[in-house]
Amino acid sequence: MSTTLGLIRHGRTEWNQLGKLQGQTDTDLTDEGRNQAQLLGLRLKNEAWDGIISSDLSRAKETAEIISAQSGIPIVAFDARIRERSFGLAEGMTLQERTAKWGAEWRKEDLGGETDEQVWSRWVDFAEAWMGKAPGEKLLVISHGGFIVQVLRGLSMEREEFLQNSSLTILQRAEAAWELTLYNCLIHLN
């Protein structure tokens, strides 16, 4: 019995537009982000998904609510384990500001954010819990770019292409292995 997870990056926010690192800072969608979620919801209306699990941060929750309203797919939970990674002191800053303050190697500084291992641990807890609760189901997981990229990195499925707002990435698990069947799909915006 295979389980399918559709990983969705939330719609666009003002901080996305400004190039600010959001992390776990709670930011809202822009009108463009709401429109992206509506278009994705209309696309998903014609696909067979059992439910939606969303990060509990506002930008993901609103994306989930819009997708659910457009598609009729029920929201089954809001889950803090799939929040964006914490970037500590770097949150709210642009790349230029981070580089000016800590240098080009700012990612190597201890800024009080989460490590790759901490983010991976949250994913493992989440995936194991939901695969136990809903084996064989197809679930949409509304999360965040940094979190999804870390999951794919941990599964040795990382891609060079930047993960876009409102994109759909699909992971399928049969037996003990995950398979990446779709990455960063934006067909709903075309």
Q: What is the pLDDT of residue 143?
A: 98
Separation of alpha carbons 58 and 15, rounded Å: 13
- Among the listed residues 84, 91, 114, 144, the single catalytic one is 84
Q: What is the pLDDT of residue 190?
A: 87
**Model confidence band, residue 67 (pLDDT cutoffs 50, 70, 90):** very high
- Among the listed residues 10, 62, 114, 144, the single catalytic one is 10
Q: What are the pLDDT digits (tens) for 71-101?
A: 999 999 999 999 999 999 999 999 999 999 9
pTM, whole model, 2 decimals?
A: 0.94
Active site residue 144: no
Active site residue 188: no
The two three-digit tokens of residue 154, written as one number: 């941990």
Q: What are the pLDDT digits (tens) for 123-174?
A: 999 998 988 887 789 999 999 999 999 999 999 998 989 999 999 999 998 7
Domain boundaries, the chain: 3-189
Separation of alpha carbons 124 and 32, rounded Å: 32
Please state, in angstroms and as integers, the Cα–Cα distance from residue 60 to each residue in 48, 65, 92, 104, 147, following that order: 21, 9, 17, 30, 12
Looking at 3.40.50.1240, 3.40.720.10, 2.30.30.90, 3.40.50.1360, the CATH number of the domain 3-189 comes to 3.40.50.1240
> Cβ contacts of residue 107 below 8 Å, gap of 6+?
none
Cα angle: 118, vertex 120, 124; to 5 degrees: 115
